[in-house]
Structure 1
Amino acid sequence: MARMLIGLIFSLLSSPLLAQPAPEVLRVGITEVPPFVIQEPDGRWSGISLELWQQAAERNGYRYELQPLPFDQLLPGLQNGQLDIAVGALTMTAEREALIDLTHPFYRTGLAIGVPAQPDNGWAALRALMSWQSLSLIIGLAALLLIVGTVLWLFERRHNRTQFGDSSLQGMGNGFWWAAVTMTTVGYGDKSPVTFGGRLVAIIWMFAALVMVSTFTAAVTTTLTVGNLQGGLEGPDDLRRAHVATVEGTVSERYLDEQRIRASRYPDLSQAMRAVQSGEAEAVVYDLPILQYRNGELNHGGLRVLPGTFENQSYAFAVPSHSPLREPVSQAILEITAGPAWQQLLERYLGKP
């Protein structure tokens, strides 16, 4: 009986589920992600998450040291024991929860879209005009002009060489020119058929050209109008027809991949936003508060952040699996975010909603 009791106690002590005491000085992993973690010019660190952590640490009597790391090293640092907690703007996902533990969320937001501040409708119209639909229409019209011009030349080649030339290439080229100016009702008069067959072709073509011009004009007008209407992005449903910029290794990248939206990856948000400014991409997708904060730092007026969010998400701190820090930190987060000082903190960094 005594042996069984000793064995039970030993197994409990050796179990990974049993909480181990927290270290005397916590190693806090951070990465710059304004406005949640900001590195000031003098090297100090501030931000929403940093101030929240400082208050939580003070409530629990924690001593800690900050360890700045790239974003992609935070979770591995928790897994291999190099970090005791990661503080920033970590989105709560099932994949991350399977690897580490997450505290109670402290901020809820979602993805947002940034587009050029001044949409270039002229460029959108030009892009629509250069679409395959428009190009196929132009190519088809050119082929018809060549056919009509060639038929006319076949009638005129022996009796009207002065106007249509001696060689086949000259004849077809001059016939093409005649068909084009006749269709547009310009009719310079520099070339005109003299044979019965040629004049019969000319009469038929003049009446047919009236219909052709009306049809072509209506098709081009429709294309340009649609191009102007579709030139701007107004929501997530429009992303499928756009070239989007995002940050690699983030929730926004995963969303774009899942939706099969064409996207270019950039190492950080600032580069992705500058790509939209320079025309390399048509929009950027990222977390709303971070996108808004970074937008204020851009030159030339920044981007236009579309209203509303999608793919809603929550931010939390991360700790190693079965860490004893999870419960006391979560309790502190609940107490701090329930007080009026929390709203004042958010307004100080994000402005009034």
Structure 2
Amino acid sequence: MPNLKRLFTVTLLFFLSFQVLAQSQTEPLKVGITSVPPFVIETDDGQWEGISVDLWRQIAEEMGQDYTLVPLSFNDLLSGVESGEIDIAVGALTMTAEREALFDFSHPFYQTGLSIGIPPGPEQSILTSLKGLLSWEFFSVVVALAALLFAVGFVLWLFERRHNPEQFGGSTAQGLGSSFWWAAVTMTTVGYGDKAPVSFAGRIIALIWMFAGLIMVASFTAAITTSLTVSNLQNQINGPTDLPGVTVATIANTASEAYLQDRRIRRQTYPDLTSAMRSTAEGETDAVVYDRALMQFRNQQEGNPLKILPGVFDRQLYALALPEDSPLRGPVSETLLEITESPAWEAIIDRYLGGSDAQQ
């Protein structure tokens, strides 16, 4: 009789445990998401897709797990994982030591990093240089210099026309022409010596003009160089070492802002990636620094207004986030690894990034 009672108790406990386990398995998981294209995208009809969403759907299908997507803001998503209000967070969450102390991560599913976007520069060619010569800036410099040469030559001619008629005499046009020629060769330090003032006042003017000519030549050379420059400041940015000294657009409270702040790079923060990229395209900032995959996707959506420089820096890993000590961590990570090692994962990446070099 005692044995029968013990058997009944064990059977009852097993049945109750089975019921609790079955109930926990059939209860849909709360999966938190936040819009981060191309990892989490809300379509026009209110559906959700993206790299991370498609990955999670395959994981849930392999595990036979029901779930409910719960849209949240980014801050609510992190706090929801930490408190256990949601069972798993799906998005573009960077694995950091600070976050690891608050909740757990699955195995990483995506490696990315920061990249630089700059306005597309003009193609360098002879035609581009000729356009610089025909620009208004270049023309205005030439006109201003000619006016100055004429003014100096005119003053010299007033003093030399009577004291030195052999070199600055003749008709008014001939005298002014000779003095203009003298002012030009003196300024350029060519000094052929064919014409030289002989009066005291003329020599004083010549002495002053010699020193002023040095400054004038330097200024004129700088003006010509500026007008003929075929690549502007943005086109001189080829990598992160070129960022100091320019103004960089980024998004506030992100890994990209932290990178710029740590290196004391002048930055301008914006509320979203689209605003940051448009500021660079419109010339308000010199470059934009952000996650490469996200910036590539947004650039395609906006019609490629920027040139995304090749390569990444400050590499980062993306993973799914779960509450600390979640029993789902092991099964989710195992299934995630199986999927990311299959051709199906490459198909997902190609679908949203078009086979780009974002994952390196």
| Residue matched to 2:92 | 89
Q: What do residues 244-287 of structure 1 show as CA deviations (whole Å, max 9, x unaligned)?
A: 11112221111111111111222211121122122222211111
| Residue matched to 1:335 | 338
Of 189, 207, 213, which residue of structure 2 is paired with 1:204? Answer: 207
What is the alpha-carbon distance in structure 2 between the residues aligned to residue 120 and residue 76 of structure 1? 49
The 1:318/1:183 distance shift into structure 2, 3 A limit, reads farther
| Residue matched to 1:109 | 112
Could you say what secondary structure the match of 2:301 adopts?
A: coil
Q: Summarize the alignment of residues 1-353 of structure 1 with structure 2, pairs less than 5 Å apart.
A: 24-118=27-121, 198-220=201-223, 228=231, 230-232=233-235, 233-299=237-303, 301-353=304-356
* Unmatched segments (≥5 aa) in structure 2: 1-23, 133-147, 160-181, 188-198
| Residue matched to 2:164 | none
The 1:53/1:111 distance shift into structure 2, 3 A limit, reads same
Contact 2:105 2:322 in 1 (8 A): yes
The 1:102/1:184 distance shift into structure 2, 3 A limit, reads farther
Contact 2:94 2:318 in 1 (8 A): yes
Could you say what secondary structure the match of 1:241 adopts?
A: coil
| Residue matched to 2:192 | none
Contact 2:31 2:67 in 1 (8 A): yes
The 1:277/1:207 distance shift into structure 2, 3 A limit, reads closer
Q: Give the Å deviation of 1:80.
A: 2.3
What is the alpha-carbon distance in structure 2 between the residues aligned to residue 63 and residue 43 of structure 1? 20
> Which shows bigger deviation, 311-320 or 274-283?
274-283
Backbone CA RMSD of aligned residues: 3.6
What is the alpha-carbon distance in structure 1 between the residues aligned to residue 228 and residue 249 of structure 2? 27
Matched positions, count? 278
What TM-score comes out, normalization by structure 1 length? 0.69
What is the alpha-carbon distance in structure 1 between the residues aligned to residue 329 and residue 271 of structure 2? 30
What is the alpha-carbon distance in structure 2 between the residues aligned to residue 348 and residue 73 of structure 1? 29
Contact 2:238 2:309 in 1 (8 A): yes
What TM-score comes out, normalization by structure 2 length? 0.67
Contact 2:233 2:286 in 1 (8 A): no
| Residue matched to 2:172 | none
Q: Give the Å deviation of 1:105.
A: 0.4
What is the alpha-carbon distance in structure 2 between the residues aligned to residue 90 and residue 74 of structure 1? 10
Q: Give the Å deviation of 1:111.
A: 0.9
Contact 1:245 1:264 in 2 (8 A): yes
Q: Give the Å deviation of 1:118.
A: 3.6
Q: Give the Å deviation of 1:211.
A: 3.1
Q: Give the Å deviation of 1:47.
A: 0.9
What is the alpha-carbon distance in structure 1 between the residues aligned to residue 301 and residue 57 of structure 2? 26
What is the alpha-carbon distance in structure 2 between the residues aligned to residue 82 and residue 283 of structure 1? 39
The 1:197/1:95 distance shift into structure 2, 3 A limit, reads farther
Q: What do residues 120-162 of structure 1 show as CA deviations (whole Å, max 9, x unaligned)?
A: 999xx9xxxxxxxxxxxxxxxxxxx9xxx9xx9xxx9xxxxxx
Contact 2:110 2:318 in 1 (8 A): yes
Q: What do residues 74-132 of structure 1 show as CA deviations (whole Å, max 9, x unaligned)?
A: 1111112322111011111112112211110011111111111346999xx9xxxxxxx
| Residue matched to 1:15 | none
What is the alpha-carbon distance in structure 2 between the residues aligned to residue 186 and residue 63 of structure 1? 88
What is the alpha-carbon distance in structure 1 between the residues aligned to residue 342 and residue 65 of structure 2? 21
Structure having the higher Rg: 2
Q: Give the Å deviation of 1:201.
A: 2.1
Give the AA of the match of 1:248: A
What is the alpha-carbon distance in structure 2 between the residues aligned to residue 294 and residue 211 of structure 1? 52
| Fraction of identical pairs, as percent | 47
The 1:212/1:302 distance shift into structure 2, 3 A limit, reads closer
The 1:37/1:231 distance shift into structure 2, 3 A limit, reads closer
